[in-house]
Amino acid sequence: MTAALLGQAQLVGHAQLVDPFTPFAAPFLGRPLLLLLALAVAAGTVGVLVHLRRLEFSTDGLTHAVFPGLAIGAALGGTAGLLPGAIGAALAAAVVLALISRRGQPRDTAVAIVLTTFFSFGVVLVSLSRGSGGSISDFFFGRLLTITWGDLGVALTLIAIAVALIVVTARQQLFAAFDAAGARRAGLPVLALEVVGTVAIALVVVAASASVGTLLALAVVIVPAAAARALTRSLPTAIALSIAFGAVTGWMGLWLVVQLAQSGVDAAPGATVALTMIAGYLVALGVGALRGRRAAGTAAIAVDGGAAR
Amino acid sequence: MSEQRDAVVEIQGGAFGYGGAPVLTGVTFAVQPGEAVALIGPNGAGKSTLLAGILGLAQHRAERFRVPTGKGEIGTLSQSSAIDAAFPVTLEQVVAMGRTPRLGLRWPGSGDRAVVADALAAVGLTEHRRTRFGDLSGGQRQRGLLARALASEPRLLLLDEPFNGLDQPSRDALIETIRTLKARGVALLITTHDLELARAVCDRTLLVNQRQIAFDDTDCVLTLEQVEAAFASHVMEIDGHTLATTEHHAAEFPEHRHPFGDDQLGEPAGERDEAR
């Protein structure tokens, strides 16, 4: 599919495709780039909150829970059905999660049960409706390059709402994430803040799942914040780095898709972008570890110096 | 005395609990602006329930119940906080969190930043403001959390065992801060097992054990008879004029769960654990 799409771009010539900017003038590459940049902003806000509240596994559960909704939506309404399906599934998952938690199950158990149930259900649905809805890999990664202006508009709107929710409540969210008991004693509406945070996460997951697939949605929310944390101990820097990381790896991933297609390799675009992000994360981990070792070395020298005195 | 109109806290005939039978009954006391009241009693006496009741996190019945109710008017410092040392915030950012109840969703202005700087100065940690919170010593963290409570410019401060596990410099610094706050007109209610400290900074003392035993000037309350009555079932050590109870040691057990510093603040489980 990628190669077929890129066939249109053959007109601009191979030399220009190697150039890092020109390919994105083509709408089928410009739209996904725009989406990935918007998701980078979500990574720096919603993603950082997920990281601070250690909600990575819940977010994973949510992305997988959205999956059967995508399958049902696609079977009933084609691509137009994806978003309503995702929203419906996210709501259903939230209700089931709350019910299981209320039964006294630990949060991780509840998430694992919801993840497995919804995900298996989605796979069964996709296998039953083969041909009409799309393949499993489509739901995971496949539609990054086929997103329309309409889809993009809806996705950008949902992401904007999610980012706005977090920015407006940012300082209270930080207090509640740092010390929930202290925030409650200080009179902050901790439960309401949690709900607002969860809604924002769900909006990003829904927008990303319906447009770039389930697994890339998860990568975009979780990987940039984790990479930023490996590089810095400062929160404002971590936010800036998350956004920059998401934008750069998103753009590099797309660029890589173009290069691979040029060499005749039809790599799944979403998965390629996700792998680019993971590669960036590994680099960040390495750099962070090196810097940590150097800082520890400096500290040891300082201690030695102090002892010598 | 408790009839004074400008009291920050005024409670008459109060009973506190979490539904079911009250944990603490017969509570009648007041805290004036600029006054520190010590809250003393053995574990399970209902001290934390009283603090939770004042915050509106536990239920109360009372003939008269007047406590500050405005946003940020009550500041708290809990005995132990389940705080992640790796959390990427500086001391200054933690203290600024204390401003959020007053701010709501507004963005902080220069006045708010001045209050935060002032709170940091009040606990003597200005030079550490850019240090990551997790890198501070235990005593410095405790003082940092006190600064966070001060950042909401409270009329009333509830301090739950603020001296627990503090080294001598941090203890001295905290006593100094409490004196400064009193001079500024802040009312304080301080639970402690350290009777010497109660004598040092608290004007009056509220002695409880599931019911109120006494409330008067600290020196009048902390007599051997009264303390014996409160700590009836507990062995006491009497060291010169200092009365120290075995509770002091019990309170320093790290696995001891305290509802005031606990996530399940609204639930009675911790309090029941405490009761024998």
For position A68, what pLDDT does the model report?
85
Q: Is the pLDDT of residue A7 over 60?
A: no
d(CA B110, CA B106): 13
- Look up the CATH number of domain A9-308: 1.10.3470.10
Please tell me whether residues B114 and B48 are part of one structural domain. Answer: no
SS3 label, residue B27: strand
**Which chain B residues touch A180 with a CB distance below 8 Å?**
263
In sequence order, what are the residues at sequence separation of 6 or more whose Cβ sits closer than 8 angstroms to the Cβ of residue B10?
B2, B30, B64, B65, B66
Q: Average of pLDDT values for B241-254? A: 44
Contact A172 B72 (CB under 8 A): no
A186 Cβ under 8 Å from any chain B Cβ: yes
DSSP-derived pairing of the beta strands B156-160 and B187-191: parallel
Q: Which of A71-80, A234-243, A277-286, B107-116 has the lowest mean pLDDT?
A: A71-80
The reply to whether B145 and B239 lie within a common domain is: no
B90 and A234 within 8 Å at the Cβ level: the answer is yes
- Across chain B, mean pLDDT equals 81
Instruction: Tell me what percent of the residues of chain B surpass a pLDDT of 70.
Output: 80
Confidence of residue B253 (pLDDT cuts 50, 70, 90): very low
Distance CA(B250)–CA(B174), nearest Å, equals 22
Q: For residues B12 and B28, what is the distance between their CA atoms, to the nearest angstrom?
A: 4
Residue B162 — pLDDT band, cuts 50, 70, 90?
confident
> Does a structural domain hold residue B17?
yes
pLDDT band at residue A301 using 50, 70 and 90 as cut-offs: low
Do B99 and B204 belong together in one domain?
A: no
Q: With an 8 Å Cβ cutoff, are B83 and A168 in contact? A: no
- Kindly give the pairing relationship between strand B24-31 and strand B9-17: antiparallel
Of A111, A90, A112, A41, nearest in space to A214 by CA = A90
* Of B72, B96, B265, Cβ closest to residue A184: B265
More reliable by pLDDT, B266 or B228: B228
Q: Do B101 and A185 touch (CB under 8 A)?
A: no
Is the model's pLDDT at B4 over the cut of 80?
no
Structure tokens given for B207: 């002695």
Minimal Cβ distance to B89: which of A178, A180, A186: A178
User: pLDDT value at position B226?
Assistant: 74
Give domain status of residue B43, yes or no. Answer: yes
Q: Are B131 and B92 members of one domain?
A: yes
Q: Does residue B109 belong to the interface with chain A, where contact is any CB pair within 8 Å?
A: no
Q: How many domains would you assign to chain B?
A: 2
User: CA nearest A174 in B: which residue?
Assistant: B97
Same domain? For B148 and B161 the reply is no
Q: Does the beta carbon of B208 lie under 8 angstroms from any beta carbon of chain A?
A: no
Question: In chain A, what percentage of residues exceed pLDDT 70?
Answer: 85
The average confidence (pLDDT) of chain A is: 83
Quick one: average pLDDT of B18-24? Answer: 89
Longest dimension (CA), chain B: 54
Asked if residues B189 and B198 have their Cβ atoms less than 8 Å apart, the reply is no
Tens of pLDDT, residue by residue over B29-55, are: 999 999 999 999 888 889 999 999 999
CATH of the domain at B253: 3.40.50.300
Cβ separation B83–A171 shorter than 8 A: no
Q: What is the pLDDT of residues B190-221, one digit of tens each?
A: 998 888 888 888 999 999 888 888 888 887 77
Phi and psi at residue A46, in whole multiples of 5°? -60, -45
- Residue B134, domain member (yes or no): yes
Domain holding B146, by residue range, is 84-153
Choice among A57-71, A157-171, A239-253 with the minimum mean pLDDT: A57-71
Q: Residue A188 and residue B152: Cβ atoms within 8 Å?
A: no
Q: Residue A308: pLDDT above 90?
A: no
Same domain, B40 and B173: yes
Euclidean distance between the first and the last CA atom of chain B, given in angstroms as a whole number: 35
The pLDDT tens digits for A156-169 are 999 999 999 999 99
CB atoms within 10 A of CB A266: 13
- Whether residue A251 is predicted with pLDDT greater than 70 in this model: the reply is yes
* Residues B112 and B210 both lie in one domain: no
Contact between A186 and B152 using a beta-carbon 8 Å cutoff: yes
Name the residue ranges covered by the structural domains of chain A: 9-308
Are the CB atoms for A67 and A119 separated by under 8 Å? Answer: yes
Decide if B152 and A235 are in contact by the 8 Å CB cutoff: no
- Residue B237: which H helix or E strand, with range? strand B236-239
Give the per-residue pLDDT at B249. Answer: 42
Name the helix (H) or strand (E) containing B24: strand B24-31
Q: For A72-123, how does the pLDDT look when each residue is reduced to its tens digit (9 = 90+)?
A: 888 887 777 888 888 888 888 878 877 777 777 787 888 888 888 888 888 8
B68 touches chain A (CB under 8 A): no
**CA neighbor of A159 nearest in space, from A248, A54, A45, A30:** A45
- Strand B74-77 relative to strand B156-160, pairing: parallel
Taking CA atoms, B215 is separated from A61, B8, B26, in Å, by 54, 16, 11
Asked if residue A53 has pLDDT above 70, the reply is yes
Examine the fold and report which residue of B127, B153, B179 is the final residue of a domain before the chain moves on: B153
Let me know whether B64 and B179 are in one domain.
Answer: yes
Nearest to B105 among A169, A178, A232 (CB): A169
CB pairs A-B closer than 8 Å: 73
**The domain boundary residue, chosen from B107, B133, B153:** B153
Exposure letters B184-214 (e unless 16+ CB within 10 A, then b): eebbbbbbbbbbebbbebbbbbbbbbbebbb
CB atoms within 10 A of CB A117: 15
> Tokens 């053995």 label which residue?
B42
Q: Could you tell me if B169 and B130 lie in one domain?
A: no
B168 shares its domain with B54: yes
What are the pLDDT digits (tens) for B124-136? Answer: 899 999 999 999 9
Are residues B126 and B239 located together in one domain of the fold? no
Residue A222: the pLDDT is: 93
Note whether B170 and B260 are same-domain residues: yes
Question: What single DSSP character describes residue A10?
Answer: G
Q: What is the pLDDT of residue B80?
A: 66
Distance between terminal CA atoms of chain A?
69
Q: DSSP for A137-185, please give it.
A: HIIIIITGGG--HHHHHHHHHHHHHHHHHHHHTHHHHHHHHH-HHHHHH
Give chain A positions within 8 Å (CB) of B265.
181, 184-185
pLDDT category at A299 given cuts 50, 70, 90 is: low
Domain end (from B128, B153, B178): B153
From chain A, pick out residues whose CB is under 8 angstroms from the CB of B259: none
